[in-house]
């Protein structure tokens, strides 16, 4: 299970705990729920950041490959 799914689960469970804590006037349960929701949000953000970083890495690799190919082609053209 990836962090995005775990994050969604944590947010949902945290929300339930928070609401139950409010309804039964349990400060501890309400706090636990809020903290679990925050943890879920953090997991989701971490997963988004990881995906963005991977895309940026691929874009950089592609750009470097393109420049290297252009350089090699220009060197070959100069030799001819």
Q: Specify the pLDDT at position 2.
A: 82
Q: Specify the pLDDT at position 21.
A: 97
Q: Which two three-digit tokens encode residue 39?
A: 């943890």
Q: Specify the pLDDT at position 47.
A: 93
**Total structural domains in the chain?**
1
Q: Specify the pLDDT at position 77.
A: 83
* Domain that residue 18 falls in: 3-79
Q: 71: helix, coil or strand?
A: helix
**Look-up of token digits 């309400």:** 30
CA distances from 44 to 9, 10, 37, 55, 62 (A): 10, 10, 11, 17, 27
CA distances from 61 to 23, 27, 57 (A): 53, 51, 6
Q: What is the pLDDT of residues 63-74, one digit of tens each?
A: 999 999 999 999
What are the residue ranges in the chain where pLDDT is below 50? none
Is the overall model pTM greater than 0.85, yes or no? no
């Amino acid at each position: 299970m990836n962090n995005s799914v775990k994050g969604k689960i944590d947010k949902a469970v945290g929300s339930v705990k928070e609401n139950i804590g409010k309804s039964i006037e349990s400060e501890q349960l309400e706090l636990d729920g809020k903290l679990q929701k925050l943890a879920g949000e953090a997991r989701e953000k971490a997963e988004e950041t990881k995906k963005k970083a991977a895309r940026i890495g691929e874009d950089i690799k592609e750009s470097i490959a393109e420049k290297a190919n252009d350089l090699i082609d220009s060197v070959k053209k100069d030799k001819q």
